[in-house]
Amino acid sequence: MGSIIRAIGSSIRRIGVRRLGAAFIAVVSAAILLLWSSTDQGVTYKGEGVSFWLSRIDRDPEAKLAMRYFRASAMPLVQRWLDPPVDSPISEWTRLIPFGKGKSRQAARHLHAQRRFKALLACDALGRDAEAALPALSKLVATNIPEPIAAYELARIGTEPALAALAHCATNAWPEARAVALEALRLAHECPDIIYATNGPYAGFYDRLAAFEQSIQSLRWLGAVPWGDPADAVLLKPAQTTNY
């Protein structure tokens, strides 16, 4: 009997503990990251803080109203979610646990991707009040795999610094980044409804984004060079830059 128990225990140690340990590390790491990066700024809307409304902005229309209520006080958390710190508290911990390292990092990457999208939605709701996010948005555009929504939101912010940031992205070494930035500038100038509409067929975020992404896909399909001289970007004056 003793040998059977020892054999079972050995099997659990070889198979079960490692897998259960990795799953446990992933869950706990995500929870620590959640607590670490969800600090509110003291302002509340209907009794809830910035992190509550930001976490549900992709499924609750009321959250967009909350972002407009918070305005500048929402930006510290929005910026943090756009550009999560590289050195989080869990990074040092997971280095000490080799079998949990991959799982915890995968969970953290997934959480960061979700939060980045929600932060981009918040920028869309905030409009010009999201101007503090220009550095983080520019960083998401000026890469070999640019984030089209970030370029779109730079155009939607619509201020001269935002257009200048897009113009700078349009001089990036990566062709894809240049194309996305220039197309966002072109639409802000030629098709402002796709960027700034508050009613009509492009009133909704997903409708506007679909039109923008369709335009980007057309460029890829045609192999075309987007319209516009990046040097003139700061001179563009979109028809609408308010009331959103």
pTM: 0.71
For residue 132, the model assigns a pLDDT of 96
53 and 10 in contact (C-beta within 8 Å)? Answer: no
For residue 168, the model assigns a pLDDT of 94
| Digit-coded pLDDT (tens) for 34-91 | 444 445 557 899 999 999 999 999 999 999 999 999 999 999 999 999 986 555 555 5
Residue in the block written with tokens 């109203």? 65
Q: What sign does the dihedral 140-63-158-218 (CA atoms) show?
A: positive
- Kindly list the distances between the CA atom of residue 68 and the CA atoms of 42, 64, 84, 151, 242, in Å, as whole numbers in the listed order: 16, 6, 23, 21, 13
Kindly report the backbone phi and psi dihedral angles of residue 83, in degrees, each rounded to the nearest multiple of 5, phi listed first: -135, 75
For residue 242, the model assigns a pLDDT of 38
193 and 200 in contact (C-beta within 8 Å)? Answer: yes
Residues of the chain with pLDDT under 50: 5, 8, 12, 15, 17, 20, 22-38, 99, 225-244
Q: Which amino acid is at 87?
A: D
Give the Cα separation of 215 and 141 in Å (integer): 16
Using left for φ > 0, alpha for ψ between -120 and 50, and beta otherwise, residue 46 falls in left
64, β-bridge pairs = none
What DSSP letter does each residue of 26-71 carry, written as one string?
A: HHHHHHHHHHHT----S--BTTB-HHHHHHTTTT-HHHHHHHHHHG
Q: Which of 121, 118, 123 is nearest to 133 (CA)?
A: 123
C-alpha torsion 232→193→138→82, nearest 10: 170
| Digit-coded pLDDT (tens) for 35-47 | 444 455 578 999 9
